[in-house]
Structure 1
Amino acid sequence: MSHANPLKGRTAVVTGAARGLGAGLARELAGRGMRVALLGREAETLEQVARRLPAESRCYEVDVTDDDLMERTARRVTRDLGEPSVVIANAGIAEGGPFATSDPRTWRRVIEVNLVGSAVTARVFLPGLLASRGYFLQVASTAAFGSAPMMSAYCASKAGAESFAQSLRAECAYQGVGVGIAYLHWTDTDMVRDVDAHDVLRELRAHMPRPARKVYPVERVATWLADAVLRRSATVYAPPWLRVAQPLRPLLPLLVAWTSARTLPRLAAGGPLPATGLLGPGGRADEAGGDRPGGR
């Protein structure tokens, strides 16, 4: 192990690595000398990402909600690349629209990928992290503490993922495993770009304060998260100014409710508010029942 670069030569696992932030994290960690296991459901897209990495990598086509397949995948990763020192639970999907008329299957799928999939990822790779005294990073969202209307499944899943990671941190600290939570805001991924394709979600985002509407490049967010991996940070905020929002968490639901009470009636006056279905190309692939990337 290099003292100048403690990540060099170690193994990282990234879920949802076929596109967006997952692919960006794979590139960033490989650039820091790590071997990378890319997990997702789009085999061809995973291979395209892997071919451009500057370090050894392997691709594993898997649904993060499938316990048995994930267990077998964890054994394959260890056999192929060694015990993981870093595991990033990044896989995530989203849908928008009124809860009352949402498709129960789509709503449940968001919870399964974002929350249950994160727990499955932690469960199957935890033996390796215990052996390496490694680091688990849960990718959460500002949706965990600033829940928005029309995004009930996503917000519930990210709040759950945050609580899960906090519980896991307390449970594993004495065993030398670090657990971090990444709070992401607007990141320039296919899923986030799809938000602006839907009138209601675009309108709701437009009512945020100007700094809160800014979208950050994947490469910049991946750098922030990789720096947190290097430091084994308990929390990482992307962008960093989000840290100041944490003390204001009790006030955010009141602010959201106040804004929504003034915005939603006007939007609803134009007719029933539509459901978006799963957002982004990854979400649509999942919805179609084909390759299910679960990548945000």
Structure 2
Amino acid sequence: MSAARSLEGQVVVVTGAARGVGELLARKLSARGATLALVGLEPEELKQVSERLYGESAHWYADVTDHEAMEQVAREVKARFGKVDVVVANAGVATGGPFVDSDPVAWRRVIEVNLIGSAVTGRAFLPVLMESRGYFLQIASLAAMTPAPMMSAYCASKSGVEAFAHSLRAEVGYRGVRVGVGYLSWTDTDMVRGADQDEVMRELRGRLPWPANRTYPLGPAVDRIVAGVERRSTHVYAQWWLRGMQSVRGYLPSLIGTVGAREMKRFASRLDAIPKGLVGAGGAADTQARDRRG
């Protein structure tokens, strides 16, 4: 493990910074002396987050899937603060329910925000990270390690960003840029609470084996991410047991296929009632932003 380095004076970009993991991460990094550049789709919420931070900060309204907008953000962050040391690609949305009955627009949007948005973020900021020999942290999920029924878009997107980050690490390491992947299980955010509003999704999650069947507090999870940023870690585990999942993940697809089929049969008569849109307050903000753009 790399030695921790001071975040004093480091310029950190966090996408999806209006709420949840992004918002608390920004606050904790700011408390350690970092300068924060916040990016998201909720300008008023971003402004409020920025005003609560300890040191210097600024916020930008941008859709992470918009390459031109994100390139403009990268130029403006560099112009404002003189450099970029760390980028945390955290923006994400989710939807649930059976794939065959899913809303194709919502399903595609999960892929666009989570996977394409991360790549667009990387493309926009890698030139300035190469200048600073910085760190790119890609937020993934337990969903990157194990497939799950009713989460096809989310699992596909998080598996994709994990592979993207691993590929990127090999490409930019010789340029001095370190690349990490952050893994989180179910953590107490608007996204998870939004998913739990549906009774079937909540019951299905409750039937997962321990320790994957519980919701974990946000604070300790973000503390682990902060420690990963300080060490510029290759892997960051927001819950202690996720590290152990790496050693057994090869067995999980067949296991989930068998157990998941049994559970889906159990809930078959109730599946039609599952909402098909993006979940949580962040999902609502994404939908509203796209509606405004027409």
Structure 2 residue matching 1:278: 3-state secondary structure: coil
Partner Cα separation in structure 1 for residue 287 and residue 30 of structure 2: 31
Once the two structures are overlaid, the 10-residue window that deviates more, 135-144 or 251-260, is 251-260
Match of 2:136 in 1: 136
Partner Cα separation in structure 1 for residue 151 and residue 171 of structure 2: 30
Match of 1:75 in 2: 75
Partner Cα separation in structure 2 for residue 84 and residue 268 of structure 1: 49
Q: What is the CA-CA distance between 1:290 and the residue it aligns to?
A: 5.4
Indicate yes or no: 2:100 matched with 1:100.
yes
Partner Cα separation in structure 1 for residue 289 and residue 169 of structure 2: 34
Match of 2:55 in 1: 55
| Greater relative CO, 1 or 2 (CA 8 Å, sep 6+) | 1
- Give 1:53's aligned amino acid: L
Once the two structures are overlaid, the 10-residue window that deviates more, 247-256 or 224-233, is 247-256
Partner Cα separation in structure 2 for residue 62 and residue 9 of structure 1: 24
Structure 2 residue matching 1:240: 3-state secondary structure: coil
Indicate yes or no: 2:283 matched with 1:286.
no
Alpha carbons of structure 1 residues 271 and 165: separation in structure 2 relative to 1, 3 Å? closer
Match of 2:234 in 1: 234
Per-residue CA deviations over 1:220-259 (Å, capped at 9, x if unaligned) read: 1111011001111100111022111111111111221222
Partner Cα separation in structure 1 for residue 127 and residue 71 of structure 2: 11
Question: Unpaired segments of 5 or more residues in structure 1?
Answer: none
1:214-233 alignment runs, 5 A limit: 214-233=214-233
How high is the TM-score relative to the length of structure 2? 0.95
- Give 2:216's aligned amino acid: Y
Indicate yes or no: 2:180 matched with 1:175.
no
Per-residue CA deviations over 1:20-73 (Å, capped at 9, x if unaligned) read: 000011001101100000000100000111111101000100000001011111
1:13–1:86 Cα contact (<8 Å) kept? yes
Partner Cα separation in structure 2 for residue 146 and residue 184 of structure 1: 12
Once the two structures are overlaid, the 10-residue window that deviates more, 263-272 or 229-238, is 263-272
Alpha carbons of structure 1 residues 215 and 270: separation in structure 2 relative to 1, 3 Å? closer
Query: Which 4+ runs in 1 deviate beyond 4 A?
Result: none
1:21-40 alignment runs, 5 A limit: 21-40=21-40
Match of 1:10 in 2: 10
1:71–1:124 Cα contact (<8 Å) kept? yes
1:98–1:273 Cα contact (<8 Å) kept? no
Alpha carbons of structure 1 residues 257 and 134: separation in structure 2 relative to 1, 3 Å? same
Partner Cα separation in structure 1 for residue 81 and residue 289 of structure 2: 30
Paired-residue identity, %: 54
Indicate yes or no: 2:178 matched with 1:201.
no
- Give 1:263's aligned amino acid: E
Match of 1:256 in 2: 256
Partner Cα separation in structure 2 for residue 82 and residue 142 of structure 1: 35
1:267–1:273 Cα contact (<8 Å) kept? no
1:255-274 alignment runs, 5 A limit: 255-270=255-270, 272=272, 274=274
